[in-house]
Amino acid sequence: MNIVLFGKPGAGKGTQAPRLAEALTVPTLATGDVLRAAAQAGTPLGLKAKDYMDRGALVPDDVILGIVRETLAQAKYAGGVILDGVVRTVPQAEGLRDALASLGRQVDAVLNFDVSNDEIVRRLSSRLVCSSCQTPYMSGAVGDACAKCGGKLVRRKDDEPDAIRNRLEVFERQTAPVFEWYRTHGARVATVSATGSVEEVTKRALAALGRPA
């Protein structure tokens, strides 16, 4: 299965992606994680992406599509992929369609995680992420080390109030139209309420994929 996880920043895509990956035995590609790791390592890709990310702006489509093509070419992804953070623009939707088509594949489902802006601001202003494996946590609910790998928990620069505001504006302007693009291009699309517990959201997502937990 090739599944696109869609939704506002903070909707819970990064929380749900590994849970769906485990349930469906399909690996994930999280472009935000790839870009943050590259920025931390100081690679040319990371240095190029960092400025966009810190402001809450989108990294150029050609950079993102390069990562997507490189990832899909790996043997690990031959059986499918759960895309967390792609697709965010119509050119990315077209590029992903072409990349999958060249492998005889297509997007099988698009899950739109739906949450109010108030809840998004609440979540992102209190989020901590592991500086090593990037697992997200709610501050207050954890200590100062990642429960999975022991890495240090830090606040993301793009979770500052100005960057959150900008990311929500960018979502409405550039990313929201992508869901409609999929709807009109024959993809299987479903909107999943992403409020309630993490476990409830996973159940709803699996049900939307026709795979009840």
**Interface with ligand AP5 (CB under 6 A):** 7, 9-15, 31-32, 35, 52-53, 56-59, 64, 85-86, 88, 92, 123, 127, 136-138, 158, 167, 194, 197-198, 201
Check if 97 is active-site. Answer: no
Measured from the CB of residue 178, what is the shortest distance to ligand AP5 in angstroms?
Answer: 10
Q: Closest-CB residue for ligand AP5?
A: 32
Residue 14 vs 209, nearer CB to ligand AP5: 14
Check if 127 is active-site. Answer: yes
Among residues 56, 176, 167, which one has the least CA distance to residue 112? 176
Check if 165 is active-site. Answer: no
Catalytic residue among 88, 97, 123, 204: 88
Residue 24 vs 75, nearer CB to ligand AP5: 24
Measured from the CB of residue 118, what is the shortest distance to ligand AP5 in angstroms?
Answer: 13
Measured from the CB of residue 29, what is the shortest distance to ligand AP5 in angstroms?
Answer: 10
Plot region of 126 (φ>0 → left; ψ -120 to 50 → alpha; else → beta): alpha
Residue 59 gets which letter from DSSP? P
Among residues 18, 51, 32, which one has the least CA distance to residue 175? 32
Measured from the CB of residue 10, what is the shortest distance to ligand AP5 in angstroms?
Answer: 4
Check if 8 is active-site. Answer: no
- Counting other chains too, the contacts that 91-100 makes at CB distance below 8 Å and 24 or more residues apart are 91/61, 92/61, 92/64, 92/65, 92/68, 92/178, 93/178, 93/181, 93/182, 93/185, 95/61, 95/64, 95/65, 95/68, 96/4, 96/65, 96/68, 97/185, 99/65, 99/68, 99/69, 99/72, 100/2, 100/72
Residue 86 vs 111, nearer CB to ligand AP5: 86
Check if 183 is active-site. Answer: no
Q: What residues are labeled active site?
A: 13, 88, 127, 156, 167
